[in-house]
Amino acid sequence: MPLQKHPLEREFPEYVAQLQLLQRCDGHFQHLVDEYHRLDERIFTVEAGRQALDDCLLLGLKLQRVGLKDELAERLCQAKASADLH
C-alpha cells in the first residue's frame, strides 16, 4: 500500500463546506485542524523513513490523530445538521 497523508478534505469529503466554514469562523476548530495536520505530517515523515521513532511512540501519535479526527468529525456533523435545519 502506498504511503499517503490523510488530509481532512479527503477524510471528510461530505463535510468540505462545513470544514471551510468552521476553519474561518471558529478559532478552536482551527486549532484542532492545525494540530491534526501537524500530527499527520509527523506520522508521514516517520513512516517515510525520514525520521526515526519507536513503534510505540508512533502508535501514540496515530491514536492522537484518531482522537482529533473523531472530535473534528463530531463538530463537522453538528455543523452540517445545523445547516440542514436552516
Q: What is the pLDDT of residues 23-72, one digit of tens each?
A: 999 999 999 999 999 999 999 999 999 999 999 999 999 999 999 999 99
Residue 65's pLDDT is: 98
Write down the H helix ranges in 1-86: 8-11, 16-25, 27-47, 55-85
Mean pLDDT of 74-84: 90
Helix (H, G, I), strand (E, B) or coil at 2: coil
The overall longest dimension of the chain from CA atoms, in Å, is: 49
Residue holding cell 513503534? 55
82 falls in which pLDDT band (50, 70, 90)? Answer: confident
pTM: 0.91
